[in-house]
């Protein structure tokens, strides 16, 4: 099965490791498929404005540069490690209230998507780009991170748009996702080196982007594992 991690941050947003180093870290650890998913943060409140001031967000301005950097590294990763690298973002809607906040992975994104749009607009735009939509850390987390509960609390309305839910993120497991029988994947939410050792996804499919997206969408041949190297 393919060893995969679909949720990885770099210095393009709030990660502490440069993209090139991230690629070599995962390549040398034997991964088959990874996605680079730096934050695109909403700028429509004080939390978001601060993130933008600190340059912790991809913007419409540097999106093309971000994507071409990933493409360059994806070529190198394939030649050196036979590792597939997917271009993605984490749409980051942060509000003071955890009940209003949500983070969404858009995998195989082609064009910039504004996090200030409504959820419906974001999901429809992602579908038009034939991207994969993943609800991140949908329930209470053990770390000091702010919880992001909006999508879970409104799942009756939004589940139809979501291709998969993170059943695990970092060290955390979200049993609510399994109890609802929702499609799932597991990811590191990599920000620093030690996050390499965390929950991962195993996929039983071919190593190309369309096969990977289909496998997750149909959610057959999917397993999770705690990676310890």
Provide the binding-site residues for Zn ion, judged by CB under 5 A.
90, 103, 136, 189
Identify which of residues 114 and 214 has a Cβ nearer to Zn ion in the complex. 114
Least distance to Zn ion from the beta carbon of 90, Å? 5
Task: Give kind and range of the element (H or E) at residue 8.
Answer: strand 2-8
CA torsion angle 84 85 88 90 (round to 10): 100
Least distance to Zn ion from the beta carbon of 79, Å? 28
Least distance to Zn ion from the beta carbon of 92, Å? 6
Identify which of residues 51 and 205 has a Cβ nearer to Zn ion in the complex. 51
What residue is closest to Zn ion based on CB?
103
Least distance to Zn ion from the beta carbon of 213, Å? 19
Q: 224 and 202 in contact (C-beta within 8 Å)?
A: yes
- Separation between Cα atoms, residue 179 and residue 59, nearest integer Å: 37
- Separation between Cα atoms, residue 122 and residue 125, nearest integer Å: 5
Identify which of residues 201 and 205 has a Cβ nearer to Zn ion in the complex. 201
Q: 110 and 86 in contact (C-beta within 8 Å)?
A: no
Identify which of residues 105 and 215 has a Cβ nearer to Zn ion in the complex. 105
Identify which of residues 128 and 154 has a Cβ nearer to Zn ion in the complex. 154
Least distance to Zn ion from the beta carbon of 206, Å? 27
First to last CA, the chain: 16
Identify which of residues 103 and 213 has a Cβ nearer to Zn ion in the complex. 103
Task: Give kind and range of the element (H or E) at residue 38.
Answer: strand 33-41
* Burial zone of 54 (CB within 10 Å; 0-12 exposed, 13-18 middle, 19+ buried): exposed
Q: What is the DSSP letter of 146?
A: P
Least distance to Zn ion from the beta carbon of 221, Å? 25
């Amino acid at each position: 099965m393919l060893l995969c991690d679909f949720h990885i941050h770099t210095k393009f947003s709030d990660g502490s490791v440069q993209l090139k180093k991230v690629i070599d870290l995962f390549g040398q650890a034997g991964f088959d498929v990874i996605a680079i998913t730096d934050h695109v943060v909403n700028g429509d409140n004080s939390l978001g404005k601060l993130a933008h001031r600190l340059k912790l967000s991809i913007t419409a301005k540097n999106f093309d540069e971000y994507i071409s950097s990933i493409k360059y590294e994806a070529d190198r990763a394939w030649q050196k490690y036979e590792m597939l690298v997917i271009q993605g973002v984490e749409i980051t809607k942060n509000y003071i209230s955890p009940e209003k906040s949500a983070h969404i992975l858009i995998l195989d994104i082609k064009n910039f998507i504004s996090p200030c749009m409504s959820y419906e607009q974001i999901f429809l735009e992602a579908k038009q780009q034939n991207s994969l939509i993943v609800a991140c850390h949908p329930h209470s987390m053990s770390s000091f991170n702010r919880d992001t509960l909006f999508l879970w609390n409104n799942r009756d309305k939004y589940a139809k748009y979501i291709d998969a839910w993170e059943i695990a993120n970092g060290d955390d497991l979200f049993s609510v996702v399994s109890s609802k029988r929702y499609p799932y994947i597991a990811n590191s939410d990599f920000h620093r080196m030690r996050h390499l050792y965390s929950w991962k996804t195993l996929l039983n499919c071919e190593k190309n982007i369309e096969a990977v997206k289909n496998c997750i969408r149909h959610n057959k041949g999917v397993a999770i594992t705690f990676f310890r190297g």
